[in-house]
């Protein structure tokens, strides 16, 4: 089997998906998907490990009344 055309098409598709307009998080997720997580800068502008059920701490004066939550 001649793999060259398959490899060329795979490279084209991966390149196109990486060049699509997307935010930084989506871009980094694509890098992970392709096994390229080592290319992600250590100062990524977001956190992968966010707490889905986390709590928000509000400091200072709030203009929202408790009944409006």
Q: What is the CA radius of gyration of the chain?
A: 21
Report the length, in residues, of the chain. Answer: 69
Report residue 34: phi and psi, to 5°: -90, 10
User: DSSP assignment, residue 35?
Assistant: T
Per-residue pLDDT of the chain (69 residues; tens, 9 = 90+): 899 999 999 999 989 998 888 888 888 888 888 898 898 877 655 555 555 677 777 777 767 666 665
The per-residue pLDDT for 44 is 56
Residues 6+ apart with CB under 8 A from 28: 40, 44, 46, 48
30 close to 17: Cβ distance less than 8 angstroms = yes
């Amino acid at each position: 089997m001649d793999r060259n055309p398959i490899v060329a098409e795979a490279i084209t598709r991966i390149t196109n998906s990486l060049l699509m307009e997307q935010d930084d998080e989506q871009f980094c997720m694509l890098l992970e998907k392709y096994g390229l997580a080592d290319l992600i800068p250590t100062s990524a502008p977001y956190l992968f490990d966010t707490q889905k059920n986390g709590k928000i701490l509000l400091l200072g004066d709030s203009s929202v009344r408790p009944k409006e939550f």
